[in-house]
A and B are shown apart, each in its own frame.
Chain A
């Protein structure tokens, strides 16, 4: 049996690992996944041209109306980190407000009091900040602007939350590689990339203040903590943003990535196989996550999801 899915590019490495490992355990089930982007995934699953979709941002109310009965299942977690290039500076602390003001173009110099106050002892130069953002529509942008919008009312009203936004400042690089390429080359620049990408390419990144007031440097642990803290208030449909999560040690620019399945799938056999796959991915499959740079789900979220998977009508 072959099951087709499409969607987000961000979780593609772990999904393809899962599908091949699962196929070794169940040779009769082959899962094909096309990483065409979250928007495309939502569209294709809405039109039922694929059996399941995958997205980095939860579907909005309009999109849900188009796909009645669709369910969200968090699979792993990712995070976005601020990367910068300031000569002689290896550690920097940011607050959400400072990041928002930089991306709004309000903080223009590295030695702005807002930054020097956060970083006592760090010699910040009087040079301009060159702002770099993603030019392509991306879940990474979604997570980043979602966080900035929660912190800064002005960012929320001027820019808003989407996979592509109208940036008030800076230049756009295509993909994580485009942004990191521009940042590493441009003295005085700041950008944002996925945690995995920064870790794998050994790009230094700054720590960000969380809701509890701690400055946290992103790590898979700190991201899982953010999800664990959010689990207490997680809605039944799992459509939740966990940026700026409460809780000690939680990294604030974190997010779930979701698989989208219909509660009442037309193909019951495929539905059965998908439910079995997801139960495996949520338990045994999680151990593959840290090696690939993803944060595994916390235990309390997994329990909630297993209960939700049992609501899928497979017979």
Chain B
């Protein structure tokens, strides 16, 4: 009995170690294959904006900017919605509605991103263009809304990302709210709290986990590729404007990798992959840590 137990433990341990090994191997491969670009550009790669495959000059700032900007905007839109859904399902929802609602939000996560992209091109982008075109001149003068109304651009990308992020954030936030002891809510009610105040108390209790859930959505938004590529306009520029076509790290890799024939170009694209890998790893580790500090696995 005991020896089979030991063998089982070792077997499972090997699988777990393999997973860790894969992550480490990906990191090493990325660093190794981007060494040419790392040596050639150094820190310049991070802070310059010139991406010119013909001249062999590569600066990743517009891609890093576009990735963060689109993800932050997406979070700003998605977080209230996702938390609203989570609170409704865990605190207010009639029992009969609970399962169908959970199923529907999670269904959003199951839609392939290329389908989101197509929906983006044919439905979202024309709608965004109509909004942009109908905006009064006074507002258009603000840097946030400058530029011609293409439809494709930062706003379309942020909106599509927001829809994609909602199911992740709301599912985790719901689980986190579940871990809040019933006694917390009962105590609030006992003190004469209203429904709203009791929920606020539960959310305050669960705050680290909720922040973790939001950051998990952030990690998801950072790495999203296909849907964003199809609606963001793919123009490497650092701009505050929501209407400006911009670019993300994942999108430039997907767009240019297959036809990148020379060594330095390929190496620069892989370095973008390395940057994205490190950033998403950090964001995910941090968010998981926060969630687990609330609800140990």
Residues of chain A having any CB pair with chain B under 8 Å: 36-40, 42-43, 62-63, 128, 130, 135-139, 159-167, 170-174, 178, 181-182, 185-186
Taking CB atoms, residues of chain B closer than 8 Å to A182 are: 121, 150, 152
Verify A166–B151 contact, CB threshold 8 A. Answer: no
- B55 to A137, Cβ gap below 8 A? no
Q: Which range holds the interface residue count of chain B?
A: 20 to 34
> Complex Cα distance A161/B52, Å?
11
Docked complex Cα distance between A38 and B230 (Å): 22
* Cβ–Cβ contact A43 & B261, under 8 A: yes
The closest CB in chain B to the CB of A38 belongs to B259
For residue A102, give the distance in angstroms from its CB to the closest CB of chain B.
14
By a beta-carbon cutoff of 8 Å, the part of chain B in contact with chain A is: 50-55, 121-122, 125-126, 129, 148, 150-153, 229-230, 233-235, 245, 251, 254-262
Contact A171 B152 (CB under 8 A): yes
Residues of A within 8 A of B258 (CB): 36-37, 39-40, 136-137
Taking the closest CB of chain A, its distance from the CB of B150, in whole angstroms, is 5
Say whether A38 contacts B261, CB under 8 Å.
yes
Q: Kindly provide the distance from the CB of A253 to the nearest chain B CB, expressed in whole angstroms.
A: 19
Measured CA separation A279–B245 after assembly (Å): 47
Interface residue from B126, B233, B255 paired with A171 (Cβ < 8 Å):
B233
The A/B interface has a contact count, at CB < 8 Å, of: 97
Whether A167 lies near B255 (C-beta < 8 A) is no
Chain A residues with Cβ below 8 Å from B148 are: 128, 130
Known: A39-B260, A170-B235. A161 touches B54 (CB 8 A): yes
Given the complex, which residues of B lie within 8 Å of A39, measured CB to CB?
Answer: 258-261
Pick 5 A–B contacts, CB within 8 A, sort by A: A43-B261, A62-B262, A164-B256, A174-B230, A185-B121
- Nearest 9 A-B pairs (CB), nearest first? A137-B259, A172-B234, A37-B258, A135-B234, A160-B54, A39-B261, A163-B259, A171-B233, A39-B259
A284: shortest Cβ distance to chain B, in Å? 31
Q: Which of A37, A130, A160, A174 contacts B55 (CB 8 A)?
A: A160
CA distance A242 to B63 in the complex (A): 35
A128 to B147, CA, bound (A): 11
Known A-B contacts A171-B150, A185-B125; A163 and B51 likewise in contact (beta carbons under 8 Å): no
**Is the Cβ of A136 less than 8 Å from the Cβ of B152?**
no
Known A-B contacts: A171-B153, A171-B233. Give 18 more (CB < 8 A).
A39-B258, A39-B261, A40-B259, A136-B255, A137-B258, A163-B259, A163-B261, A164-B259, A166-B51, A170-B245, A171-B150, A171-B245, A172-B234, A172-B235, A174-B234, A181-B122, A182-B121, A185-B129
